Structure 1
Amino acid sequence: MSGSGTPGSWLTRTPTLPGPGRIAAYLGLLLLGAVVGTAGSLVQAAWPPGGLLLALLAAAGLFYGSLRAVGTQAAVVAPAVGWLVTVVLLSTGRPEGDALFGAGIGPIAFMLGGVVAAVMCATMARPAQPGGGTGRPDR
């Protein structure tokens, strides 16, 4: 049974690949996540504590905005991966001892807060489709 209204039908249908437009959107969001991660890494240490709040709001805004713009949870994963990889790479020090992140609670709060924001946005309910009902098959 592969009807669209039957429970579990997503398990039995053939998986479809995203189109080239959606792939381009995911790649753009990945790069935008890297940019926001870099900017947030610089801002959170420059203006404590307001910089930390600004950096976390920018990351959360990017994650939620990508969910609303594309409409899939995968659209949150793309900028989150770009953000996380950038922040982790910038947090590692060089062999000479230089590091972008300083000591203290700020960098830890930035990393954990960004990850929490990404998880919250990725697990949110998808936005309702225009003209759609409740999405439940019994109503």
Structure 2
Amino acid sequence: MGVYDSLHVKDICPNCHEEIEYCFKTKEFGLSYADYYVGDYVDKADTNYFLQVDDDCPKCGHNRVAYIEIKKGQWIRTLSKETLDEELKRVALMKKIKKVESVIAELPEEWIDVVEDHLDYIICKCTGEI
């Protein structure tokens, strides 16, 4: 079996729709046989990342893949693949919007009315979304 840390999370099985306490196993945090829960500091490094984990539902056997979000070493939340994909798109879009904001902030004042009149178009061109 080996040495693992355990990440405990209650979630709904996407297959049988029962509330399950999953116990995701990982060797990511230093192999200390530790038990972790959402909110715990799991990584001593001050880093941000997503850790992919999986476990089988004890009721129906469905393999549940999840993504543990780590921010500054703390386990913030657990995401499904679909939620992770949406989150990554949202983060990318927010970066593009910040870029648009910084460009607008640097425009000469006489251009502000033109930008305001065409803001939806500008955002669409810069981000690919309205």
Which structure: greater strand fraction?
A: 2
TM above 0.5 = no
Name the structure where helix makes up a greater proportion of residues. 1
- More contact order relative to length (CA 8 Å, sep ≥ 6): 1
Q: Specify the structure having the higher radius of gyration (Cα).
A: 2
Normalised by the length of structure 2, the TM-score is 0.29
Q: What TM-score do you get using the length of structure 1 for normalisation?
A: 0.28
